[in-house]
Amino acid sequence: PRNTPVTSNRPDLLGRQFSLPGIKLPKAPGFAVFVATRSSCHFCSESLPFYRVLDQKRRTAKSTVPLYFVSSDSVEDLKRYVAGADISPDEVFSVEMRSLGVTVTPTIVVVDSAGTIKHAFYGVLTEQRASELLKLVEQAAL
pTM, to two decimals: 0.89
Residue ranges in the chain assigned as alpha helix (H): 42-60, 75-84, 127-139
Please give the pLDDT value at position 8.
Answer: 46
Question: 111, 137 in Cβ contact below 8 A?
Answer: no
- pLDDT at position 12 is 84
| SS3 label, residue 134 | helix
Nearest to 133 by CA among 50, 62, 68, 36: 50
Q: In one letter, which amino acid is 48?
A: L
Tell me which of 11 and 26 has the higher pLDDT: 26
Alpha carbon distances (Å) from 91 to 54, 57, 66, 142? 15, 17, 9, 23
The answer on pLDDT for 43 being more than 60 is: yes
Confidence of residue 56 (pLDDT cuts 50, 70, 90): very high
Q: What is the share, in percent, of the chain residues with pLDDT greater than 90?
A: 65
What does the pLDDT look like over 86-98, one tens digit per residue?
999 999 999 998 8
Distance CA 59, CA 134 (A): 12
So what's the pLDDT on residue 40?
95
